[in-house]
Amino acid sequence: MSEIKLERIDDNRWLLPQTGSMRVPGIIYANDKIHDLLQHDESTKQVANVAHLPGIVNFSLAMPDIHWGYGFPIGGVAAFDMDSGVVSPGGVGYDINCGCRLMATGLAFDDIRGEIKDLTAALYQRIPTGVGSTGYVKLSGKDQKKVLQEGAGWAVKAGFGSSEDLETTEDGGCMSGADPEQVSARALERGKQQLGTLGSGNHFLEIEVVQDIFDEKAADAFGLHRGQIVVMIHTGSRGLGYQICDDYLALMVKHQSETGIALPDRQLACTYLASQRGKNYLAAMACGANYAWANRQILMHLTREVFEKTLSIAPRELGMRLVYDVCHNIAKIESFKIDGVEKKLCVHRKGATRAYPAGHEAVPARYKSVGQPVLIPGNMGTGSYVLAGQEKAMSETFGSACHGAGRLMSRKQAVKSSRGRSISREMADQGVLVMAGSKGTLGEEMPEAYKNLNDVVGVVHDAGIARKVAKLKSMACIKG
């Protein structure tokens, strides 16, 4: 039971008052139902802990998918001054640039109604899944360093997709400042054979159908319409990103006393952004981010091939194209107005995603009039939402929204609760075909392990930081 008492700001926001050594207050985005759930969760304490870090600006924030994480809560957002602030690997997360990629097709539900089982089986056979899975893209040391520097652009040059895909990938699928020399030999080794793999846990590839449209103008700009078949991919930087985080956490813990920063939790190990160690971490993190973008680009290409072969249709007939690829688990240098003055800040988004509004320079040209697509998947039985960023996000959340429904149970609790049940059969009864590498994964990921997606998305929409555009219904899901 959390001892922290939150004060209501409005229907969708709660204030965590500034006390003790907190440098700023906290704000948590939640409706009454989510607020009540937080009373049984210590993640509010993590919001308060983050508020102790030097150089934090305005607030320590948490999105409505908030739950316990390493150091920072998952769903946490915090921005730091470039001169006096810090960077913390726990504020990015182990799976650097874990993110979502939404692909639209020219197919309607009726076009694949009788082919879903074959499609799902073919995808499961073609897309490597599970812990330690390896792909068929084997990298030499030279090629791997190019991946870390060029991201999705490397994959396109290698024949996995087209340059058009890069136009609707956040940052063009490449984060600047990447330096492979700041990545350990162990991390490089772990990443050598995992490019083009989905991984395990909450990572997935789903076939979905557009069920509802809430904003016709934005949906038209995104190229979405009712009854359309789409595919959502959720994965990240695999073992390489995990190792980068692990390496730098160990380094920062070892040298924490040198910084003179008093931490309420050692998991918040950090270093000043202006320090060489801080710059080295950002350069290594950018490598992890670029690896993740290349990974999702390759998975999209493999998915396209599976659809074409299984359905015996030509690329033009399939019409698979990238709607958007958005990352979470990242720290980015971005500009925001603070007290009327434009400032560069290092924005940590852990289990949170950009939600940039119409007209922003970082929004792809084709979406400038409506705002950036925001992709929020739920559990494997719920489907996903597509939203569009709003201007209010720039003044309240550093251009951020939530990244998913957010866990309600730990993985251990979920496995215990699912014993004796056939989650795959339960999913089939709901009209969702699921294929996974183990019963354990399905137990960890059972629908009850997550918050209600409609509640979470409703908070983001009602708070005015991202507006609902479309609801996607799950039809089939593959997991590691």
Q: Which residues 6+ apart lie within 8 Å of 128 measured at CB?
A: 134, 135, 136, 196, 197, 198
> Residue 436 falls within a domain, yes or no?
no
The mean per-residue pLDDT over the stretch 125-145 comes to 85
268-286 exposure pattern, b = at least 16 Cβ within 10 A, e = fewer: bbbbbbeeebbbbbbbbbb
**CA 155 distance to own-chain centroid:** 20
Range of the domain at 244: 7-408+450-479
Question: 140 falls in which pLDDT band (50, 70, 90)?
Answer: confident
* pLDDT band per the 50, 70, 90 thresholds, residue 2: low
SS percent in the chain: helix, strand, coil, step 5: 40, 25, 35
Predicted confidence at residue 217, as pLDDT, reads: 98
Catalytic amino acids? 403
Structure tokens given for 279: 């710059």
Question: Tens digit of pLDDT for each residue in 282-323?
Answer: 999 999 999 999 999 999 999 999 999 999 999 999 999 999
In 327-446, where does DSSP find H-type helix? 392-396, 411-418, 423-429, 439-444
Q: Rounded mean pLDDT of the chain?
A: 95
CATH of the domain at 168: 3.90.1860.10
User: What is the largest distance, in Å, between two alpha-carbon atoms of the chain?
Assistant: 65
CB 202 within 8 A of CB 234: yes
Residue 282 to residue 259: CA distance in whole angstroms: 17
Q: What is the pLDDT of residue 117?
A: 96
Q: Has residue 136 got a pLDDT over 80?
A: no
- pLDDT tens, position by position, 374-417: 999 998 878 999 999 999 999 999 999 999 999 998 889 999 98
Has residue 433 been placed in a domain? Answer: no
Is residue 402 in some structural domain? Answer: yes
Task: Give domain status of residue 282, yes or no.
Answer: yes
- pLDDT tens digits for range 326-367: 999 999 999 999 999 999 999 999 999 999 999 999 999 999
Q: Is residue 124 part of a domain?
A: yes
pLDDT above 70 covers a percentage of the chain that reads 100
Residue with tokens 């030279």: 142
Q: Are the beta carbons of 296 and 238 closer than 8 angstroms?
A: no
More confident of the two residues 440 and 267? 267
**pTM of the predicted structure, to 2 decimals:** 0.97
Q: Examine residue 116 and state whether it is found in any structural domain, yes or no.
A: yes
pLDDT score recorded for residue 431: 92
Considering the chain, what percentage of its residues have pLDDT values greater than 90?
88
- CA 357, 360, 363, 365 dihedral sign is positive
Structure token digits, residue 21: 């050594």
Mean pLDDT confidence for 5-32 = 97
Structure confidence at residue 405 (pLDDT): 94
Distances (CA, A) of 65 to 50, 204, 377, 408: 17, 18, 11, 9
Q: How many domains does the chain have?
A: 1
